[in-house]
Amino acid sequence: MDMDTLLSYQWSAMMPEFIILGVATLISLLDLFVGKRIKHSWLGYLAAAGVIGSFVSLCLLRKGLPVTILYDTFRLDSFAVTFKFLLLIGAFFTLLIAIHERSDEIKHRGEFYYLFLTALLGAMMMASSGDLITLFVGLELLSISSYILAGIKKSSLRSNEAALKYVITGGIASAIALFGLSYIYGITGSTNLLTISEVLGENQSYEFIAVLAFLLVLVGLTFKIASAPFHMWAPDVYEGSPTSVTAFLSIVSKTAGFVLILRVFLSVFANVPMLQKSVTFLYGMQDYLFIVAGVTIVIGNVVALRQKNMKRLFAYSSIAHAGYVLVAFAVLSPFMMDAIWFYLLAYLFMTVGAFTVIHIIQQQQGNDGITSFAGLYKTSPYLAIVMSGFLLSLAGIPGTAGFIGKFNIFLGALATSPTHYVIVSLMIIATVISYYYYFGIFTQMFFRSAEQERTYRVPRVLLFSTFLCLGATIILGIFPNVAYQFFFNEVHQFKDFFN
């Protein structure tokens, strides 16, 4: 590639990524040279400022889409923009939690912040990947950084165990996904996603290998979203990691996983016909997606009933919510994209808000068991009320964003032909089951007495964070068109996704 070609690219399309990369590099240099003389919370605010800067630059790039550079390996289209908004918002609120972690939770603050930004950079690259190579590079950038973040508490045995389990299972999942991607490259001779789709559509003699590749990639990517039966790492990793890392894995990493699933499967398999059926390849594999989604919903909600640790409970709750989103993907309804995007947006606010409350209580009690919430309404009415709002939304109670998200998935499953009554019934039953463990936290907060009376000190930043998250959860539940109007104005029905 000559210099003229290199300079001809519209590099401004990567400005959000350049900002994150620049701030991560700056934090690493500051930590290296003046780490002992600088207040480490300043590094956290610098990281948050970088996320805000990236968000602003993304807003300025919304017009004139799509933009492709580097031989279509990097795509800035409406899909990438809308999902990058979710990644950046989730990362910002998670950073606010990290800034207020105790020093014994995160001793190496500089390392934490630039690894955090590096993981975010990998997630953003995944959203804009137009090629298998950049896609896998982004996946590994996110994964390797996440492995280190999970074990950032070096002196904690639980943290060491979490990191070890995460890196072993994550490495196996990445290898399986790469194995499937290698089959796709082998039968098409290309790593470009759209070219792969064209070649598969023209030559259907490799259908068996394509099915094998589909299943291998599905196994590798469902690990990232912690769906059953590849979910066993999640409870231990969530429990052993600092709360900010747990929130990051539950929100940013999970959103990135769904972005990757949508980008790969819709780009490659959505328009490829099957030989034995008069449907596209993705419709032909629909039953496998329903099995994964159904098992994930059941396991997540049923096993959560036995949990006594808040992080483990929310790990299984996160698994169940991954199953709900997979249902929206599996039914392949006409409004699949907006249902998934809205659900991930609602999940972002209610989950980061809940983890912020868990973080405040854990920091001041040193305990993350469910009983640590006993008597919270008397000791801190504000925390009890905001936590109630997040729990109601997670449970899918009307008037909250979580209800609208689930309701749209129900409609998607009922609007297709044939109608998917079984998976809808399963979702309803599982949602009712979830009331038991969510309302068990209500019981602790409002109907149990605290073993020790204490006054909770809520930092102003976290007070502001929980207020924003609760406000967004309620507004999106009452006026969901606020989000949908933004979505439809941005995506233009994703006309630029397949070209």
3-state secondary structure the chain: CCHHHHHHCCHHHHHHHHHHHHHHHHHHHHHHHHCCCCCHHHHHHHHHHHHHHHHHHHHHCCCCCCEEECCCCEEECHHHHHHHHHHHHHHHHHHHHHHCCCCCCCCCHHHHHHHHHHHHHHHHHHHCECEHHHHHHHHHHHHHHHHHHHCCCCCCHHHHHHHHHHHHHHHHHHHHHHHHHHHHHHHHCCCEHHHHHHHHHHCCCCHHHHHHHHHHHHHHHHHHCCCCCCCCHHHHHHHHCCHHHHHHHHHHHHHHHHHHHHHHHHHHHCCCECCCCCCEHHHHCHHHHHHHHHHHHHHHHHHHCCCCEHHHHHHHHHHHHHHHHHHHHHHCCCCHHHHHHHHHHHHHHHHHHHHHHHHHHHHHHCCCEHHHHCCHHHHCHHHHHHHHHHHHHHHCCCCCHHHHHHHHHHHHHHHCCCCCHHHHHHHHHHHHHHHHHHHHHHHHHHHCCCCCCCCCCCCHHHHHHHHHHHHHHHHHHHCCHHHHHHHHHHHHHHCCCCC
Tell me the longest C-alpha to C-alpha distance in the chain.
71
Task: Give me the pLDDT at residue 497, please.
Answer: 67
Alpha-carbon span 324 to 57, nearest angstrom: 32
| Contacts of residue 128, Cβ cutoff 8 Å, sequence gap at least 6 | 17, 74, 75, 76, 80, 84, 134
Cβ burial, residue 272 (10 Å; 0-12/13-18/19+)? buried
Q: Which residues lie across from 76 on neighbouring strands?
A: 67
Task: Give me the pLDDT at residue 2, please.
Answer: 62
Q: Is 394 within 8 Å of 402 (Cβ atoms)?
A: yes
Q: Residue 421 falls within a domain, yes or no? A: yes
Q: Is 91 within 8 Å of 252 (Cβ atoms)?
A: yes
Task: Give me the pLDDT at residue 107, please.
Answer: 65
- Total tally of structural domains belonging to the chain: 1
Q: Residue 376 falls within a domain, yes or no? A: yes
Q: Residue 67 falls within a domain, yes or no? A: no
**From the CA atom positions of the chain, what is the Rg in Å?**
22
Phi, psi of 67 (to 5 degrees): -125, 125
Domain containing residue 335:
296-499
Q: Which residues lie across from 192 on neighbouring strands?
A: 131
Q: Residue 79 falls within a domain, yes or no? A: no
Alpha-carbon span 296 to 326, nearest angstrom: 9
Q: Residue 11 falls within a domain, yes or no? A: no
Regions of the chain with pLDDT less than 50: none
Alpha-carbon span 207 to 201, nearest angstrom: 10
Q: Residue 4 falls within a domain, yes or no? A: no
Q: Residue 390 falls within a domain, yes or no? A: yes
Task: Give me the pLDDT at residue 346, please.
Answer: 96
* First CA to last CA distance, the chain: 24
Q: Residue 426 falls within a domain, yes or no? A: yes
Q: Which residues of 108-118 are buried (b: 16+ CB within 10 A; e: fewer)?
A: ebbbbbbbbbb
